[in-house]
A and B are shown apart, each in its own frame.
Chain A
């Protein structure tokens, strides 16, 4: 009842000055609109750029490093256990890249309830032979279907049909930039040489474009069987096991667990791509900074109009106090005005922010580097709207607080004497 009375008084004072009030509210609307749009757009961009990596990257990758064995044969002989054994000139063994017992590991991972999918891979370092010139490259022998399902392989094959990789023997999908260097068209045969020197003829069935040129210059894809054949290895030879989890946040923890369990190296996506997270953070920070700056400016607008109103309404404040309204009541009346401006302006801002985001979402955005993107990216995360609401209420409250406090301290005797 009493708050309702104060709110009514706020509303009447505000409506009597509705033009100035509207200007102040538009200030809030503008800043919240920009805040929402900026955050949605920036975060859309973040998602897009992260997606470049996250879509393409396993959450956990199991592999073996070429390292000399931790334990040399002599260490395993019981009678030498209590000795310091010095072995000089230790060399890594060639087959160490291979993950041993890979079939069992893949099967056990596929059964793990935390795992969304598993894709084995064979990486083959090669030279692309172009006449007399050799370009270094990497051919990934992949399980085409798993790769398409888990890592959106299909989206990044910009020309040709990705499934040909599986159906046509000795076929290859070339990185776009590599293909340009080799002047290789779809249907052409190219020659590559493995590190061991075996030359192999492969048929180009498509181009692959990740959007990251450094990758497209080097990487190409063939089926896992072709890769094993190139290396002259059996069909159990696997160099990488790529795991996609149901919850990406579990990656660091599970990567430790798997490394231990399967006795391989394991790297999680967060560790492998920490630089991307930093970029995202900086972009969000900039959006917040701009949004908050705008809100502070809007806050000053509210501060001004309230100061002006209080100056104009000295008589009213004096009589309210003379007839029994306390200082706190008067303070609430003016904070009520500020909050009304904030909430009204803020809500409009949310609406316009949504509208503007939706508009940007429609603007075509075609770039060769990002084949799957057709319009500017927008992230409609509801939390931005909640943050926007909280910020607008908070700033208007603060902007209203100080003038309202001044109003609450007005001495009616001074005003009434002044008449």
Chain B
């Protein structure tokens, strides 16, 4: 196994509305390069909350978070945005594609934002990602011309565009039927094995979890098994 790319130490999170409740309780764990990890636990146990903190979108927590050896505390909003852009790929339950842009443009957007490559190169890379996901023929369509499963695959391609350190998914198969869910799982599996991609996927599907390398189980804001 490779080096540690993400680590947390005693992460706690409170919500104050309507009553103060502690949603995460001193969560500590680490992720190594190339791991395919699933996070499971009952609904409401804090999985999504944890994922949003790990993704740097939620900064209102206690404890420490390192991504790629860098401490995230006290970082400015612009810097966090750049870290998300470069190092984290996201897949949500909903695809969040921009309907004004073609599939290809949707995939390219984070790459253009990063602007490490020229636009032509970004386009080329976007095509490659679409090819990996088997939807290169849909590249020039608009998102609302695609099926639900295809949209989710576009979202994965978008998450891959900047070759992120880690892909995070919050129930990415939650909105899909069994067949499409399996396709998406196969894609994750393929990314992990062929491209040594690190993945952290929240799921409520135990069958899905069983097939991953490692399972983190949560209960009531705590990690009970990892």
Q: Nearest CB to that of B82 among chain A residues?
A: A324
Residues of A within 8 A of B81 (CB): 321, 324-327, 329
CB <8 Å contact, B92 and A2: no
Chain B residues touching A, range: 20 to 34
- Asked if B109 CB lies within 8 Å of chain A CBs, one says yes
B10: Cβ under 8 A from any A Cβ: no
Given known contacts A323-B110, A324-B110, A325-B113, is B98 in contact with A316 (CB within 8 Å)? Answer: yes
Q: Chain B residues near A329 (CB, 8 Å)? A: 81, 113
The chain A residue sitting closest to B158, CB to CB, is: A323
A2 near B115 (CB under 8 angstroms)?
Answer: yes
Beta-carbon contact of A323 and B77 below 8 Å: no
Residues of A within 8 A of B109 (CB): 5, 9, 320, 323
B94 at the A/B interface (Cβ < 8 Å)?
yes
Cβ contact within 8 Å between A323 and B98: no
B84 touches A322 (CB 8 A): yes
Q: A321-B57, A324-B82, A327-B77 are known contacts. Are A419 and B110 too (CB-CB below 8 A)?
A: no
Q: Report which of B83, B92, B114 forms a contact with A416, defined as CB distance below 8 A.
A: B92
Quick check: A12 and B100 within 8 Å, CB to CB?
A: yes
Q: Does A82 contact B (CB under 8 A)?
A: no
Nearest-CB residue, chain A, relative to B108: A5
- Mark A305-335 against chain B: 1 for CB-CB distance below 8 A, else 0: 0000000000110111111111111000000
Tell whether B21 is near chain A: CB-to-CB under 8 Å. Answer: no
Interface set, chain B 71-93, CB cutoff 8 A to A: 77-78, 81-86, 90, 92-93
Of all chain B residues, which has the CB nearest A327? B77
B99, CB-defined interface residue at 8 Å? yes
Residues of B within 8 A of A316 (CB): 96, 98
**Chain B residues near A (Cβ < 8 Å):** 48, 52, 55, 57-58, 77-78, 81-86, 90, 92-94, 96-101, 109-110, 112-115, 158, 170
A324 and B57 contacting across the interface, CB-CB below 8 Å: no
A324 engages B58 (CB within 8 Å): no
The answer to whether B92 touches A419, judged by C-beta atoms less than 8 angstroms apart, is yes
Closest to A13 in B: B100
- Name A323's closest neighbour in chain B (CB-CB): B110
| With A1-B115, A327-B78 already in contact, 14 other A-B pairs whose C-beta atoms are closer than 8 Å | A13-B100, A16-B99, A315-B94, A316-B98, A318-B96, A320-B109, A322-B55, A323-B110, A326-B77, A326-B78, A329-B81, A413-B57, A419-B92, A419-B94
Given contacts A12-B101, A322-B90, A416-B92, contact A5 B113 (CB under 8 A): yes
Q: Is the interface of A mostly helix, strand, loop or mixed?
A: helix
Which chain B residue has the least Cβ–Cβ distance from A419?
B94
Q: How far is the CB of A78 from chain B (nearest CB, A)?
A: 89
Within 8 A of B (CB), among A229-248: none
Contact status B100-A324, CB under 8 Å = no
- Does A15 belong to the interface (CB within 8 Å)? yes
Which residues of chain A in 399-419 are interfacial with respect to chain B, using CB atoms and an 8 Å cutoff?
Answer: 411-413, 416-417, 419
| Given A15-B100, A328-B78, A419-B92, CB of A322 within 8 Å of CB of B57 | yes
Residues on B with beta carbons closer than 8 Å to the beta carbon of A322: 55, 57, 84, 90, 92, 96
Q: Which residues of A contact B113 (CB under 8 A)?
A: 2, 5, 323-325, 329
- B78 x A5 contact (CB < 8 A): no
Complexed CA–CA distance, A242 and B96 (Å): 80
Q: Separation in Å of the B48 CB from the closest CB of chain A?
A: 7
Chain A residue at smallest Cβ distance from B155: A319
The distance in angstroms between the C-alpha atoms of A269 and B110, with both chains bound, is: 68
Q: How far is the CA of A413 from the CA of B94 in the complex (A)?
A: 13
**B100 and A323 within 8 A (CB):** no
If the complex has contacts A1-B115, A16-B99, A16-B100, are A419 and B77 also in contact, measured as CB distance less than 8 A? no
The distance in angstroms between the C-alpha atoms of A344 and B51, with both chains bound, is 43
Q: Closest Cβ of chain B: how far from A31's Cβ, in Å?
A: 29
A13 CA / B101 CA spacing, docked (Å) = 9
Known A322-B57, A324-B82, A324-B85; judge A413-B52 contact (CB<8 A).
Answer: yes
Residues of B within 8 A of A12 (CB): 98, 100-101
Scoring B57, B78, B170 by chain A CB atoms within 10 A of each residue's CB, the highest score goes to B57
A326 partner residues in chain B, CB cutoff 8 A: 77-78, 81-82
Q: Roughly how many angstroms separate A333 CA and B52 CA in the complex, as a whole number?
A: 24
For B96, the chain A residues whose CB sits under 8 A away are 315-316, 318-319, 322, 416
Q: Which residues of B contact A5 (CB under 8 A)?
A: 109, 112-113, 115
- Inter-chain contact B48/A417, CB cutoff 8 Å: yes
Which chain B residues lie closer than 8 Å to A1 at the CB level? 115
Query: In the complex, which residues of chain A have a beta carbon less than 8 angstroms from the beta carbon of B98?
Result: 12, 316, 319
Q: Is B85 within 8 A of A323, CB to CB?
A: yes
Q: 18 A-B residue contacts at CB 8 Å?
A: A5-B115, A9-B109, A315-B96, A316-B96, A319-B97, A320-B109, A322-B57, A322-B84, A322-B92, A323-B90, A324-B83, A325-B113, A327-B77, A329-B81, A413-B58, A416-B52, A416-B170, A419-B92
